[in-house]
Structure 1
Amino acid sequence: MIPALAHVDDWIFDLDNCLYPAATNLFALIDVRMGEYIQRLLGCDPVEARSVQKRHFLEHGTTLAGLMRSHNVDPREFLCFVHDIDLARIAADPALVAALDRLPGRKFVFTNASEDYAARVLERLGLANAFDGLHDIHAMNYAPKPDPASYRALCERFGIEPTRAAFVEDMARNLIPAKALGMTTIWVDNGSEKGGHDADHEAIDFVTHDVGAWLHEILEEEMA
């Protein structure tokens, strides 16, 4: 295994656009639902709704966080509405499933989405039993990545020693708090919308375009 990864006991993975390709554009379906929710909430047209949505995402980490602060939105109602989508466009990646099965150490999902939605996605990806724990937006008390408090809460909840953990994420800015805690960081640069926004390349240890292929490579190096 690559020397910088030989010490890793715990592997932490983002979910959306990380454990499946961003090219599937699953988020387009969530975007539509968010737009519908905001139009109904504010009584605005689709153009204004999209502007509000993206502004909150960039300024607060998630659209939900911005809406909660600005409009006192009920997070559970919002998440239930926007995650009510068809998951048919994503499917299991045999290489990723096999690599995660072989990967030594504990494995966790750390997502700004809800646990119910994450469970549906993982089931669709053939990864329902691949992880030792899941830390979702509810567990974060609605302080989404990249809020440093959520990273600390994740580590405290599961007894993770950050200097012996690796974090895999498609949004480069979300790696910054992980690196500050001492984690090894992997950026999945696979075309996610705003994936490189506010990136700090000093906070990125490795870059990959495909998580399954990258894990396979490091596992093969370990066996060599």
Structure 2
Amino acid sequence: MIGALSHIRNWIFDLDNTLYPPGAELFALIDGRMGAYIAELLSVDLVEARRVQKGYFRAHGTTLAGLMADHGVDPHHFLDFVHDIPLDRLSHDPHVVDTIAALPGRRIVFTNGDAPYALRVLDRLGLGGVFETVYDIHQLDYRPKPQAKGYARMCAALAIDPAESVFVEDMARNLVPAKALGMTTVWINNGSELGNEGVQAGMIDYEVADLGEWLKHITESE
């Protein structure tokens, strides 16, 4: 393990567009389902539904948070609907699987999605059983990243010392609260939607384009 990370005991990863590349365009399918849900809920066309969706995403961190705040949407119903997608766009990346499995210490997924969906994705990626747990939007009490309370809540629930933790994310703004807690932060700058929004000086310790290559570098370094 590379010397600068030899103290790390907790390896915390975002899920979508982090453990798989945005080129899989899985979120495009979820986006479509969100649009359909909002169009039905608000009796609007898909153009207006997308405007509403993206507005909530920017303002609240997730579309769901905005829908809950303004329309009292049942989160379970919403998430079951939007995550009802095929996962055939995803494939195993043996390099990512092997290097994550080789990381010393605990491995955790921290996602604004829900655990049933995350577990399906992990299985499809060949990462089923590699992670200790998935800390999801329900456990966050629907306070999504980047709301700081959720990060502290996760650390308390899982007995995580931030100073011994790495957080890996494709969305730069979601790294800010992690860094404020004392985590080492890794930004996967891979071109995902709004990935570079909210970049702040001093909040990112490592900026990398390819997760697998970075993991190979740190696990093979003396």
Instruction: Identify the TM-score tier after normalising by the shorter chain.
Output: over 0.9
SS of match in other structure, 1:140: coil
Is contact 2:164-2:183 (8 Å) kept?
yes
Residues paired across the two proteins, number: 222
User: Offset at 1:202?
Assistant: 1.4
Partner in structure 2 of residue 97 of structure 1: 97
Separation of aligned partners in 2, 1:200 and 1:94 = 33
User: Offset at 1:212?
Assistant: 1.5
User: Offset at 1:213?
Assistant: 1.4
State yes or no: 1:79 paired with 2:79.
Answer: yes
Segments of structure 2 that go 5 or more residues without pairing to the other structure are none
Is contact 2:2-2:219 (8 Å) kept?
no
Separation of aligned partners in 2, 1:74 and 1:65 = 10
The more displaced of 24-33 and 207-216 is: 207-216
Separation of aligned partners in 1, 2:202 and 2:80 = 37
User: Offset at 1:201?
Assistant: 3.1
User: How does the TM-score come out when normalised to structure 2?
Assistant: 0.98
Segments of structure 1 that go 5 or more residues without pairing to the other structure are none
Summarize the Cα distance change of 1:26–1:160 in structure 2 as closer, same or farther, 3 Å threshold.
same
Percentage identity across paired residues of the two chains: 56
Partner in structure 1 of residue 52 of structure 2: 52
Is contact 2:167-2:175 (8 Å) kept?
yes
Partner in structure 2 of residue 163 of structure 1: 163
Map of 1:40-189 to 2, 5 A cutoff? 40-189=40-189
Is contact 2:189-2:195 (8 Å) kept?
yes
User: How does the TM-score come out when normalised to structure 1?
Assistant: 0.97
User: Offset at 1:2?
Assistant: 3.4
Q: What amino acid is aligned across from residue 80 of structure 1 in structure 2?
A: D
Separation of aligned partners in 2, 1:12 and 1:60 = 22
User: Offset at 1:100?
Assistant: 1.0
Large movers: runs of 4+ above 6 Å:
none
Separation of aligned partners in 2, 1:103 and 1:90 = 22
